[in-house]
Amino acid sequence: MAEERGPVLVPGRRLRMFGNGTWPHTAAGERETRRNVMSNTRTLRPRRSPGQPEGQPAAGPAPGGRPGPGADPMVSARGANMSPRRTDATMTSAGHRHRYDAIVVGARCAGAATAMLLARRGFDVLLVDRARFPSEIPHGHYIRQHGPPRLAAWGLLDRVLATGCPPITSITMDLGDFPLTGRGLVVDGVPVGIAPRRAALDQVLIDAAIQAGAEFRDRFGVHDLTFDDDRVTGIRARGGLTERARVVIGAHGRNSRVAKLVEAPAYAQQPTLACWYFAYWSGVPLDGLEMYWRDHRMIFAHPTNDELSAVFVGWPIAELAAVRSGIEAQLMAVVDRVPDLSQRIRSGRREERIYGAAQLPNFLRKPYGPGWALVGDAGCHKDPARALGICDALRDAELLADSLTSSLSGAQAETAALGEYERRRNEATMDDYEANLRAARFSPPAPEVLQARAAARGNPHAMAQFCLAWEGRITRRTPAAELYQPPRA
């Protein structure tokens, strides 16, 4: 979600340090750290051979750059989030690498995950982002469906939880009929959901990429691409610095500069259907995820880092002007339609400004071409109605890493390998993409869904099974899933 300026912060806003010891900076322009200029460190990092088993990071020094013990935690040094530069390959006269296997532009969840997976497989990866890290972005951050299991498989779920992000093991869902609550929603030791703040999640993924051997540079803006005929060969920063790679990956959101520069065609497009506003409260008890549908309005609330509760409210985009006429009042008017939730929120304290998004086009893009690829929102952007953004970004990072492993290792031609990536991505996402469009239109629940809910009502096991099926955590082959799985058509 992009930021929409709303009411200012309430007095007494508190700075919080995430559980992993990092201090966030907001993307909304609020500098929550002081700058301290220091020189960058260049050290040798051993290189693995492509194809080395994933999950075996290269030997060598731990990623550095953060202030050491005793340093002022409010100070972010220039280059503090730049991983040590490798010096084990051909250098140009300007002192930078001759060529990487892959350059990933955008170090949020899709880009950092892609860089990590490629580096774990032995490829030489440069990860860049124009932002400073760790930093917040005003986007939704609930991770559901296949997202938590994938983080667990990568060995990162415990690291995310260690930031102070609570596991979500219950869901209360009210579709205008009655509140249905499923509890104990844990499958194979993995909770049904997590909702880490983006500064925490992205930093865990970046750290994992660095530990796998990727080079990371924050505050590195990509101005242009370099080409050889129609093939992308690298990136050019403002000021003229260039870096070369066998493939450049755009992973920097729906307004991807890489996608724009290569003129990646979009398809299955739908305009913005909804607008969303959200904020964070302290002192609001939430047992897990809560979802409420009220006459073309939707409320989502869930716990997140630092004992805060995130509350999101959505309206049809046609009502944007009315919502903007008084954002806080309009948001609370919707919350007041759920008296129990309203009482809890009004008894708490809003700790941050109200953020919002009203430019949420829906599309898929062709995610590859000669020397380039797209992943995450750069390749497929959806309204946040069903909170699919992060889980799908992690999945697509894995799909892209699989295809690039085939092409970069020479096992498969680039066009064939990346064509397979697009096919697998679309096969995995299209049903959910269509269902998400219906949700973003605030369409009434399907009769089959209401019938399944009614059948489960009052039965704790059946209600839990309904929620697990809704989240895609039990398969359609099980009798419970056949009964409670929401229809996709």
Please, what's the largest Cα pairwise distance for the chain? 72
Measure Cα distances from 281 to 104, 136, 285, 324, 456 in Å.
Answer: 35, 16, 10, 21, 32
Which band of pLDDT confidence, cut at 50, 70 and 90, is reported for residue 30? very low
Q: Which of 487, 387, 486, 391 is nearest to 440 (CA)?
A: 387
Which three-class secondary structure state does DSSP give residue 101?
Answer: strand
pLDDT, position 348: 98
Q: What is the mean pLDDT of the chain?
A: 84
Phi, psi at residue 6, to the nearest 5°? -125, -155
Is the predicted pLDDT of residue 11 greater than 80, yes or no?
no
Instruction: Just give the CATH number of 34-46+61-87+94-138+199-269+362-427.
Output: 3.50.50.60
For the stretch 100-133, pLDDT in tens is: 999 999 999 999 999 999 999 999 999 999 999 9
Measure Cα distances from 243 to 25, 92, 234 in Å.
Answer: 27, 10, 6
pLDDT, position 83: 57
For the stretch 252-275, pLDDT in tens is: 999 999 999 999 999 999 999 999
pLDDT, position 236: 97
Helices assigned H by DSSP within 347-408: 389-408
Under 8 Å between Cβ of 104 and 111: yes
pLDDT, position 50: 57
Query: Model pTM?
Result: 0.82
- CB neighbours (10 Å) of residue 286? 22
Rounded CA-CA distance 286/87 in Å is 50
Q: Which of 43, 149, 110 is nearest to 398 (CA)?
A: 110
Is the predicted pLDDT of residue 21 greater than 50, yes or no?
no
